[in-house]
Amino acid sequence: MDLRICVPLGALFEDALEAMSRVGLPVDPLRDAGRRLIVQVPDGPTYITTRPSDVPTYVESGAADLGIVGRDVLLERQPDVYELADLGFGGCRMSWCTPDGDDPTAEAIERFGVVRVATKYINCAERFFEETGRKADIVKVNGSVELAPLVGLSDGIVDLVATGRTLRENGLVEREEIFASTARLIANRVSHKMQAPLMDDLVRHFEELRP
């Protein structure tokens, strides 16, 4: 199988291995990869492992034929790739969150004409507030974004929420859900044209076994 598959490290990694295993892809070499970032399977695919935010870059450029990545990354990066399938795992949601108590959003806009937003998802946040007719001052934060409203850096945050535990532990609540996110299978456009039967067969298996 002459395919290069980009697999995200981190939260989606184990579920991605399970999904690939269920459709017949050999994943045991990935489990034993150690510090290797590229794993070549004899008579099988070549796996490329990287941080989730870089998966679309490798697929769009053609360094990988296929990739597994969260919908949140796709909506933030908007790469020129084919989205082939919703894999059904890694469920979470992008939300606008503020400190518990009275929602400060309307008051901030009424008093200052703008709401201050901390996030690492700058594009998603900008589109959300533009589409809802509100002006937002976006502050990029790469670390613990929950800290920003607690120290007065922002009125709230736009971030991924799964269980909501981190929000609760920091006195924050969800105010508005922006979109739901699950893991997606994406493909390089040229690779898909060249290997459409193989990729379409994989997609069919993924969809049949989707949770």
Q: Where are the domains of the chain?
A: 4-91+182-208, 92-180
Q: Does domain 4-91+182-208 have CATH number 3.40.630.10?
A: no
State the burial class of residue 163 (Cβ atoms within 10 Å of its Cβ: 0-12, 13-18, 19+): exposed
In whole angstroms, what is the distance from residue 92 CA to residue 161 CA?
Answer: 6
Q: Do domains 4-91+182-208 and 92-180 have the same CATH topology?
A: yes
| CATH architecture, domain defined by 92-180 | 3-Layer(aba) Sandwich (3.40)
CB atoms within 10 A of CB 166: 15
Return the DSSP state at 41: P
Q: What is the per-residue pLDDT for 1?
A: 66
102 CB contacts (<8 Å, ≥6 apart)?
none
Alpha helices in 62-138 (DSSP H): 71-77, 105-112, 122-131
Whole-prediction pTM = 0.92
In whole angstroms, what is the distance from residue 43 CA to residue 57 CA?
Answer: 26
Return the DSSP state at 95: E
Tokens of 59: 């697929």
173 CB contacts (<8 Å, ≥6 apart)?
97, 98, 99, 100, 167
- Binned average pLDDT, 10 residues per bin, the chain of 211 residues: 92 96 93 88 94 97 98 97 96 97 94 96 97 96 94 97 95 97 98 94 89 64
Q: What is the per-residue pLDDT for 164?
A: 93
Distances (CA, A) of 109 to 115, 129, 138, 158: 6, 11, 14, 17
